[in-house]
Amino acid sequence: MINAETHFDTIAREYDYWKNKNAYYYRNLIALYRSLIPMGSSVLEIGCGTGDILTKLGVREGKGIDVSHEMIEIARKKHADKKEVTFAREDIHDSNTTYQMEYIFLADVLEHVHDVPRFLSQLARRISPRTKVIVSLANPIWEPLLMLTEKLGMKMPEGPHHRHPIPELEILFVQAGLKIEKKGFRLLIPKDMPGADWVNARFYHNPLLARFGFTVYWILGR
């Protein structure tokens, strides 16, 4: 079975095509991160892909890293005008760098990490006490529908991945030494259709409906 690096190198040239095909989801994902990360912050994105989220956050200083060489090359060319943002091919398992950024975020990345407990433990050891880590991913209850839409050619191929159940993932956060400071859900309707904006702006205030949101996110600290 191919690993995540090989998979994302393979699909890198099609990555933006798939994002445009599902633009409503990505537009809302960017809006979520804008609401969680103040403008003018220093920000690291782990698993930055072609860099579109990071470069739209109005950062003072930004760095995007990814295990895919191809993704990083595209990001560098695509956002060459963003002098406040740099991109580098990096796997956090390969270095001992301490991340001093105010915010670190991972958008739809954790499900592609081969050894999540090890990854989280290393991340927790390498962040500053003042750093906030934001993790977002597709709610695991949507996995059957995601796999169906992939087979129908409606979404980007996931490649090797595993969606840990939410309670299991939260245990892993705590075991790694990360404190859950906030948790939330967004996007009950992840496609652009009549009424979607109205529903998505309101549903997560209802505790019974919120847990069905397509996107789940956590803000973590030490």
For 23-51, what is the mean pLDDT? 97
* Cβ pair 139, 101 in contact under 8 A: no
Q: Is 137 helix (H, G, I), strand (E, B) or coil?
A: strand
- 81 contacts: CB under 8 Å, gap ≥ 6: none
Q: How far apart are CA 179 and CA 133, in angstroms?
A: 10
**pLDDT number for residue 1:** 52
Burial degree of 29 (CB within 10 A; 0-12, 13-18, 19+): buried
For residue 159 the two structure tokens come to 């490649």
At 128-158, the pLDDT tens digits run: 999 999 999 999 999 988 888 988 888 888 8
At 96-133, the pLDDT tens digits run: 777 889 999 999 999 999 899 999 999 999 899 999 99
Prediction pTM value: 0.94
C-alpha distances in angstroms, 194 versus 189, 190, 199?
Answer: 10, 12, 10
